[in-house]
Amino acid sequence: MDKNELKEIRKQKFAQMEQQLKEMHPKEEDSLFYYHSSEDRIVLSHALFWVMTQPQCLKGKIRKERFFLLLRQYEEEMLDAFLTEDDYFPELLRYCNILFETLPTILMSSGFRTDKDARKLAAISVVAAGYGGDMDEELCNELLDDMDFHYNKVKCRKIEGMLPKLMKMVEGEMRSMR
């Protein structure tokens, strides 16, 4: 199979997932990113989530789950495409949004409902989406401008520097979920 055939299969699978999401949540306002003021804010929310879910930040069986690994893989690919201004970026961002929107359904499944690490992942997603959408414009631009490559891998140094503050926000979110 060549690259274009794989892209077409990917496109069809994500169209199916998107349709299922629309059936579960028919209102556009139910989208986690509906109130984000720009595409950059959505990209930043994904970057926050991607950094906050690095192996050293998230433990337990949840971090080995295929769905979670797939979301992180697509986010990294999307951030790479964002930085290189690749034509495939809008499609990758759409895929990341679909996967991110599906995350609450996965986490509410019976296998994860009582798992502490799954609750932490849920809190991380709330913080990443909320903080990315609500932070002040200057900080948003600073964090986006800081994203770069290090040894051909996406690197978000300033977000990494914010991890202690972000994880305190996650702890607060976890307390409110109880």
Per-residue pLDDT at 75: 96
152 Cβ contact partners less than 8 Å away, ≥ 6 residues apart: none
Can you tell me the distance from the alpha carbon of 99 to that of 69, in angstroms, rounded to the nearest whole number? 11
User: Which 3 state secondary structure label does DSSP give 151?
Assistant: coil
Per-residue pLDDT at 113: 66
Can you tell me the distance from the alpha carbon of 52 to that of 46, in angstroms, rounded to the nearest whole number? 10
- Give the chain's residues under pLDDT 50: none
Model pTM score: 0.90
Distances (CA, A) of 40 to 61, 119, 141, 152: 31, 27, 9, 22
